[in-house]
A = this chain, B = another copy of it.
């Protein structure tokens, strides 16, 4: 049995991925196992989310010496030139959802995309997978919840990420799209129905 480690400082993300993995297993009889690890990693500053994720995967591997995936995600608001983007977690901690709404006050242009990037590294192979969900920024914060989920309304939904059921969120979210890409590749690479 092989394990892949998911390295992150955010356990919420791991729970989301685990739920997703459970479903995939039920549907496709997979047996990929993912463990959680939270090594201390210094992320680089870069406007490229891919560069941040790949650098993070390499540092995580250096720390835990096991095949590892990491994820980086961000909310990119068109009218704000991609802000808060790769610095979403810092923006959330400082200006919060309220700050984003203030930045767009009275602005009808509210298009935004949530991007997720997973990078896998096993000491030799680096592979990166992306997922994107387009939508717009709501005009109020609802419900109180994790990150920018309460202000992001994905296209074709009447609800924010925060209002959606976990199941529905996992069907359409940027993170789930990127994670499924990874899973597909990983199974092909390691022929994982055998392990």
A contact set with B: CB distance below 8 Å: 42-47, 52, 55, 80-85, 87, 90-91, 93-95, 99, 102-103, 105
Q: Is the interface of A mostly helix, strand, loop or mixed?
A: mixed
Per a CB cutoff under 8 Å, which of B44, B85, B102 touches A44?
B44
CB A114 to nearest CB in B, in angstroms, measures: 16
CB A160 to nearest CB in B, in angstroms, measures: 21
Residue picked from A45, A83, A91, A105, most chain B C-beta under 10 Å: A45
10 of the cross-chain contacts (CB-CB < 8 Å) are: A42-B55, A43-B45, A44-B44, A80-B94, A80-B95, A80-B99, A81-B94, A82-B94, A83-B91, A95-B103
Per a CB cutoff under 8 Å, which of B87, B102, B103, B105 touches A90?
B87
Query: In the docked arrangement, what's the CA distance between A46 and B43, Å?
Result: 8
Residue of B nearest to A55 (CB): B42
Residue of B nearest to A98 (CB): B103
Per a CB cutoff under 8 Å, which of B42, B82, B91, B103 touches A102?
B103
Per a CB cutoff under 8 Å, which of B44, B82, B95 touches A81?
B95
Query: In the docked arrangement, what's the CA distance between A52 and B87, Å?
Result: 15
Contacts of A85 in B (CB 8 A): 90, 94
CB A47 to nearest CB in B, in angstroms, measures: 7
Query: In the docked arrangement, what's the CA distance between A82 and B103, Å?
Result: 17
Contacts of A99 in B (CB 8 A): 80, 83, 103
**4 nearest A-B pairs in the assembled complex, by CB-CB distance:** A83-B94, A43-B45, A42-B44, A81-B94
Contacts of A45 in B (CB 8 A): 42-45, 52, 87, 90
CB A84 to nearest CB in B, in angstroms, measures: 8
Query: In the docked arrangement, what's the CA distance between A84 and B80, Å?
Result: 15
CB A115 to nearest CB in B, in angstroms, measures: 15
